Amino acid sequence: IIGNDNSLLGGLLGVLVLLATNHMVVSFLYRHPTLDRKVEGEPVVLVSHGRIIESNLARELITIDELRAAIHRQGLDDFADVEKAILETSGTITVFARHPTPQEAVDEALSDRLNRLDRSLARLLELLEAKSPDARKDLA
């Protein structure tokens, strides 16, 4: 941009030219969203309902290991936990978790089962105590 000029003024001039050019391009693309979509591209779905869309991975040159790392950064362990993963135009991968995740569903089922067992045990203790008031002491 500035040729052989290594002076401070030449550097500042180069910076100003780059900033002005960037501003003009961004402003132009802002006023022309159709062209902006062609230049920037569209978001690409990489995972849908826990299934990897391998053709989209190949087209975007993303490996399964890179995708796995992205979902791990979002706190998910497996692709089955992912409702949708999208490669944004900025290059970031946005991950949406399934609700509930398979692990959350298992945890909830176990919690429900433990609560039912707890209520059953409490009822059995009530019945036992009604039959013999000293029975609770014998269990301790």
Q: How confident is the model at residue 1 (pLDDT cuts 50, 70, 90)?
A: low
pLDDT of res. 31:
94
pLDDT reading at 72 higher than 90? yes
More confident residue, 140 or 68: 68
**Of 23-32, 77-86, 99-108, which gets the smallest average pLDDT?**
99-108
- What percentage of the chain has pLDDT greater than the value 90? 56
> What are the domain boundaries of the chain?
8-39, 42-97, 102-139
Amino acid at residue number 96: F
CATH classification number, 42-97, choose in 3.30.365.10, 3.30.240.20, 3.90.650.10, 3.50.30.10: 3.30.240.20
**Of 16-30, 57-71, 89-103, which gets the smallest average pLDDT?**
89-103
pLDDT of res. 135:
65
pLDDT reading at 100 higher than 70? yes
By the 8 A CB rule, do 98 and 83 touch?
yes
